[in-house]
Amino acid sequence: MIDLTENDQALLNGQGGDAVALAMRVLARSAALMGAERLLDITSAHIDGCLYHGQASLDFVERLVAGAGKVVVPTTLNVGSLDLIHPELFRGDAAVKAQAQRLMQAHLELGCESTFTCAPYQSHHRPRLGQQIAWAESNAIVFANSVLGARTNRYGDFMDLCAALTGRAPACGLHLAENRLGQVLFELQDFPADLAGRDIWFAALGLFAGKQVGTLIPVFSGLPLDSSEDELKALGAACASTGAVGMFHAVGITPEAPTLSDALGCRAPLQTVAISRAQLQRMRAALSRARPGDRLAAVSVGTPHFSLSEFEQLLALLAEEEAGPRIDFYVNTSRFILWQLEQCGQAQALRSRGITIVTDTCTYITPVMKQTRGLIMTNSGKWAHYAPGNIGVEVAFGSLRECVQSAVRGEVVLDAG
């Protein structure tokens, strides 16, 4: 039985309105099933349910709107099923488009911010170390817990919104310090240290580790100490794709792992796994059956959404080429990042080089790409993992540098080694 505060009970009894009463019923019952003894206050929420999966997802949110629901903490929105800034890119069913647009609008009526990004941590919404939050979207959860040191469980559709409407979350799981210690140690023997092209190895490592640990917390020892936020983003997103990972530690890099002992809580790991570069190469090969010279249909990067730093890398790589891409080249990002690109003139520079910028959604979940027959190249472990099942494409898996070189030549280019 969960111990509700006087205010929790008042909300449950309807003193905050019908929508909040429903949200508290869902939250209290879910917390009890999760083994929580109480609820705790949160400082922000990130909502995954604005991606249209059918009528049920819209019905739930419409009920909250009809009940005069409003979020009570700063609340960002994950990607939807449409790029509202570039609606001409949508190539799907008109009826689905209308329902998807209504779902996105209904969340705004609840007071959520129109962020529509899977990377809210790249905007001004960056929770601090130790802050309690209720975030959904697998990569955002992993990044918040691991790289920022905030605290959230893996929340999904409906429960994330209930937390936003009540400002409360179950006091269990990764919200509690004792549940945030590492469990499986990955010892990296010869992880590539050269900055050029190493993004692919963070993604490959994440895909490998996620398969190994499932719901456990991995600890990575031996990552380059200059690992960037974008590289850690790629690592976490891939971990959460092949496994149900909500948090990882990178020794000497992430805030709760200054030492291996800190990461493990002075305990022995449940398992230790040595990882060589050869193993990472095999993981990469398992997702990409492409060979150098194979013809490409398109390139898609930005899953999770591209950061300003990644756009700068992309521009630099494009500048090294005499010609622009011969094939469609899509970059998924947030409208906040796009606004910054527009302000400094980089957006136009990218478009002039043949880059299509997609906001509010992602190419592996929304019919945006003109060509999905044939081989599509990406540097994203998450995109490579999900796109074949979601949109039926074949994947070539390479670094951002390889993606650019391949797009310019119209065929797969892979570095040696």
* pLDDT-derived band at 390, boundaries 50, 70, 90: very high
- For residues 132 and 168, state if they share a domain: yes
Q: Are residues 305 and 273 in the same domain?
A: no
DSSP secondary structure letters along 86-115: SGGG--S-HHHHHHHHHHHHHHHHTT--S-
Would 1 be classed as within a structural domain?
Answer: no
Residues paired with residue 299 on neighbouring β-strands, in sequence order: 329, 377
Answer with the one of 217, 252, 285 that is the final residue of a domain.
285
Q: Torsion angle, CA of 350/356/362/364, rounded to 10 degrees?
A: -120
Residue 98 lies in a domain: yes
What is the mean predicted confidence (pLDDT) over 63-70? 98
Does a structural domain hold residue 416? no
**266 and 382 part of one domain:** no
What's the structural domain count of the chain?
3
The answer to whether residues 248 and 146 touch, using CB atoms and an 8 Å cutoff, is yes
- Structural domain contains residue 400: yes
pLDDT for res 417: 53
Say yes or no to pLDDT of 2 above 70.
yes
Do 17 and 147 belong together in one domain? yes
Decide if 414 is inside a domain. Answer: no
Q: Is 54 exposed, middle or buried (0-12, 13-18, 19+ CB in 10 A)?
A: exposed
Pairwise CA distance, residues 312 & 331, whole Å: 13
Mean pLDDT to the nearest integer, 372-394: 95
pLDDT at 162: 98
Which amino acid appears at position 381 of this protein? G
Write down the pLDDT at residue 125: 85
Q: Render pLDDT for 199-239 as a digit per residue (tens, 0 to 9).
A: 999 999 999 999 999 999 999 999 999 999 999 999 999 99
**Following DSSP, what letter does each residue of 337-374 receive, concatenated?**
HHHHHHHHTHHHHHHHTTEEEEESS-TTTSS--S--SS
Please give the share of the chain, as a percent, with pLDDT higher than 70.
Answer: 100
DSSP code of 5? Answer: -
Same domain, 157 and 245: no
Query: Over 60: is that where the pLDDT of 312 sits?
Result: yes
Structural domain of 320? 288-409
Residue 286 has pLDDT above 90, yes or no: no
Sign (positive or negative) of CA dihedral 51, 56, 58, 60: negative
Are residues 253 and 304 part of one domain?
Answer: no
* Together in a domain, 264 and 405: no
Predicted pLDDT at 416 = 64
- What b/e readout covers 133-147, taking b as 16+ CB neighbours within 10 angstroms? bbbbbbbbbbbbbbb
Tokens of 179: 């549940």
Q: What is the pLDDT of residue 4?
A: 97
Express each pLDDT in 75-118 by its tens digit. Answer: 999 999 999 999 999 999 999 999 999 999 999 999 999 999 99
Burial of 343 (0-12, 13-18, 19+ CB in 10 A): exposed
pLDDT, residue 257, reads 98
Co-location of 28 and 170 in the same domain: yes
Ranking 25-39, 184-198, 216-230, 313-327 by mean pLDDT, the lowest is 184-198
Cis peptide before 304 (omega within 30 of 0): yes
Residue 44, classed as helix, strand or coil, is coil
CATH number of the structural domain spanning residue 15: 3.30.499.10
Q: Are 154 and 48 in contact (CB under 8 A)?
A: no
Instruction: Say whether pLDDT at 1 is over 80.
Output: no
Identity at 373, one-letter amino acid code: R
Task: Please indicate, yes or no, whether residues 145 and 12 belong to a single structural domain of this protein.
Answer: yes
Average pLDDT over residues 336-362: 97
Domain annotation covers residue 310: yes
322, 398: one domain:
yes
- Please report which confidence band the pLDDT of residue 289 belongs to, taking 50, 70 and 90 as the band edges: confident
Residues 19-25 have a mean pLDDT of 98
Question: Averaged over 133-140, what is the pLDDT?
Answer: 98
* The last residue of a domain, from among 161, 177, 193: 177
For residue 44, the tally of other CB atoms under 10 A from its CB is: 24
Question: Do 81 and 132 belong together in one domain?
Answer: yes
Residue 47 lies in a domain: yes
In a domain, 415, yes or no: no
Q: Would you place residue 194 in the very low, low, confident or very high pLDDT band (cuts 50, 70, 90)? A: confident
Evaluate if residue 49 carries a pLDDT over 70.
yes
Same domain, 187 and 219: yes
| Domain end among 177, 200, 224 | 177
